[in-house]
């Protein structure tokens, strides 16, 4: 495993291959002096840097601030984990941000270059909510966004894409709350449809239950394809695992298959998976360089390997 950036704290790395390079779009952790709590108020990030690498072992270039909260017209606070996409010679940066009423929405900003700077739209995406947008290029002209996160990510405040009066998680024996998936519009700036549930099934074909904290979705969606199958990966949050499930199309359903990454130092795990120069890599983060401060994280990369049956070999999160 390799830490990528040492002069600032970075987390939630979304990695993509653009123009033959790896570009990474992470959160930028700062010490805001806010006490730690389950709503994540201490994660008070205020801008994004973009990084690039010509090779997996090569120098990491910091391209500086790509987007600052001060330049987003509808901004309240907390620029959390972003993602990026490329279509029609334009780059798109998707970001969760609390609006002026302290509700998370998902915004989009555009640039002619993968490193930015990015110019934000004047309003968040209509119908968006919660956090952790991950945008998947299906290779057929269609792009899909996966999003959602519990607790501070506010997903428990919604049912059927509508806010409910009193946000709560289901009972332990009820189906777990799901991440959401939605096809994006041709211009990449809007939802083309109503978001749908990303249903994860157990080995019996039943949806995972809310009490199954070691397998159910919490946050940090990612999608990639391998050998024609769709791999939906995610964090279990309070049990600190990165898990994955496999399906036959972008909407699912997906069948739970196992653990990608065991717990790391630090509360959260948030990742991306990308193929580059014939190998697969897992980008993630931990809090080792900050001495275990959960809100000051550092992104890192390690090779990801598959077994012959398409399952992913579990990676030890404590391995250096």
pLDDT at residue 319, rounded to an integer: 85
- Counting residues of the chain whose pLDDT is more than 70, the rounded percentage is 100
Question: What confidence tier does 37 reach under pLDDT thresholds 50, 70, 90?
Answer: confident
CB 92 within 8 A of CB 125: no
pLDDT of residue 140: 96
CA distance 296 to 30: 7
Model confidence pLDDT, tens digit, residues 183-224:
999 999 999 999 999 999 999 999 999 999 999 999 999 999
**Quick one: pLDDT at residue 43?**
87
pLDDT confidence bin for 36, thresholds 50/70/90: confident
CATH of domain 2-304: 2.115.10.20
Q: What is the pTM of this model?
A: 0.97
Here the tokens at position 223 are: 């999608």
Q: Is 219 a catalytic residue?
A: yes
Among candidate residues 44, 132, 219, 286, the one labeled active-site is 219
Q: Report whether pLDDT(86) > 90.
A: yes
Q: Residue 147 — very low, low, confident or very high, per pLDDT cuts 50/70/90?
A: very high
Q: How far apart are CA 256 and CA 212, in angstroms?
A: 12
12, 44, 83, 115: the catalytic one is: 12
Alpha-carbon distances, residue 149 vs 58, 98, 115, 193 (angstroms): 33, 13, 26, 20
- DSSP single-letter state for residue 298: E
Q: Are strands 200-201 and 196-198 parallel, antiparallel or unpaired?
A: unpaired
Q: Per-residue pLDDT tens for 214-236?
A: 999 999 999 999 999 999 999 99
């Amino acid at each position: 495993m390799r830490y990528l950036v040492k002069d600032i704290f970075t987390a939630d790395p979304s990695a993509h291959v653009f123009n033959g390079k790896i570009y990474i779009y992470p959160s930028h952790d700062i010490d805001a002096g806010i006490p730690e709590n389950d709503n994540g108020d201490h994660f008070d990030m205020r801008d994004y840097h973009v990084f690039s690498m010509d090779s997996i072992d090569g120098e990491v270039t910091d391209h500086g601030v790509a987007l600052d909260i001060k330049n987003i017209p509808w901004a309240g606070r907390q620029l959390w984990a972003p993602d990026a996409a490329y279509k029609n010679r334009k780059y798109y940066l998707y970001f969760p941000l609390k609006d002026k009423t302290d509700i998370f929405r998902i915004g989009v900003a555009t640039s002619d270059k993968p490193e930015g700077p990015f110019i934000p739209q004047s309003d968040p995406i209509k119908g968006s909510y919660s956090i952790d947008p991950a945008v998947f290029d299906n290779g057929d002209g269609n792009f899909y966004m996966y999003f959602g996160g519990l607790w501070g990510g506010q997903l428990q405040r919604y049912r059927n894409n509508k806010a409910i009066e009193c946000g709560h998680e289901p009972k332990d024996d009820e189906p777990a709350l799901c991440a959401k998936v939605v096809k994006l519009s041709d211009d990449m700036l809007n939802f083309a449809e109503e978001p749908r549930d990303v249903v994860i099934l157990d080995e019996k074909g039943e949806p995972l239950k809310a009490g199954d904290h070691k397998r159910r979705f919490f946050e940090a969606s990612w999608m990639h394809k391998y050998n024609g199958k769709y791999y939906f990966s995610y964090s279990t949050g309070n049990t600190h695992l990165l898990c994955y499930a496999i399906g036959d199309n972008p909407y699912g359903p997906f069948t739970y298959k196992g653990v990608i990454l065991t717990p790391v130092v630090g509360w959260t795990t948030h990742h991306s998976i990308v193929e580059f120069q014939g190998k697969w890599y897992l980008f993630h983060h931990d809090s080792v360089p900050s001495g275990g401060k959960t809100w000051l994280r550092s992104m890192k990369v390690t090779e990801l390997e598959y077994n012959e049956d398409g399952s992913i070999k579990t990676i030890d999160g404590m391995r250096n």
